[in-house]
Structure 1
Amino acid sequence: MLVDDFFIIKTIQNDAGKSHARLRLNADHAIFQGHFPGTPVVPGVCMVQMLKELVETSLGLSLQLEKAPMIKFLAILQPAQHPEIDAVYDIADLPEGKVQVSGQITDAELTFFKFKGIFHAQS
Structure 2
Amino acid sequence: METILDAAAIQKIIPHRYPMLLIDKVVELEPGKRAVAIRNVTIHEATFQGHFPGNPVLPGVSLIESMAQTGAVALLSEDQFKGKTAYFGGIKDAKFRRMVKPGDQVRLEVSLEKIKGPVGLAKGSATVDDKKAATAELTFIIS
Q: TM-score range by the shorter chain?
A: 0.7 to 0.9
Using structure 1 for the length normalisation, give the TM-score: 0.82
Using structure 2 for the length normalisation, give the TM-score: 0.72
**Kept after mapping to 2: 8 A contact 1:35/1:41:** yes
**Kept after mapping to 2: 8 A contact 1:19/1:90:** yes
1:67, distance to aligned residue in structure 2 (A): 2.3
Query: SS of 1:47's equivalent?
Result: helix
- Which structure carries more strand by proportion? 1
Question: Which one-letter code corresponds to 1:10 in the other structure?
Answer: K
**Kept after mapping to 2: 8 A contact 1:3/1:9:** no
Question: Which one-letter code corresponds to 1:32 in the other structure?
Answer: F
**Kept after mapping to 1: 8 A contact 2:23/2:70:** no
Percent identity for Structure 1 against Structure 2: 19
Question: Which one-letter code corresponds to 2:126 in the other structure?
Answer: I
Give the distance between the partners of 1:14 and 1:52, measured in 2 at CA: 14
Pairwise mapping of residues 36-115 of structure 1 onto structure 2 (< 5 A)?
36-60=52-76, 61-80=84-103, 82=104, 84-115=105-136
Question: Which one-letter code corresponds to 1:24 in the other structure?
Answer: N
Instruction: Encode CA deviations 1:1-45: one digit per residue, 9 max, x unaligned.
Output: 876546442333212612211221232111101001121101011
**Kept after mapping to 2: 8 A contact 1:68/1:116:** yes
Query: SS of 1:40's equivalent?
Result: coil
Q: CA RMSD in A?
A: 2.2
Query: SS of 1:49's equivalent?
Result: helix
Structure 2 unaligned segments of length 5 or more: list them.
1-14, 77-83
Instruction: Encode CA deviations 1:52-109: one digit per residue, 9 max, x unaligned.
Output: 12222222242222222210011111123x1x11001101332122121101000224
Give the distance between the partners of 1:88 and 1:102, measured in 2 at CA: 8
| Bigger mean CA offset, 37-46 vs 12-21 | 12-21
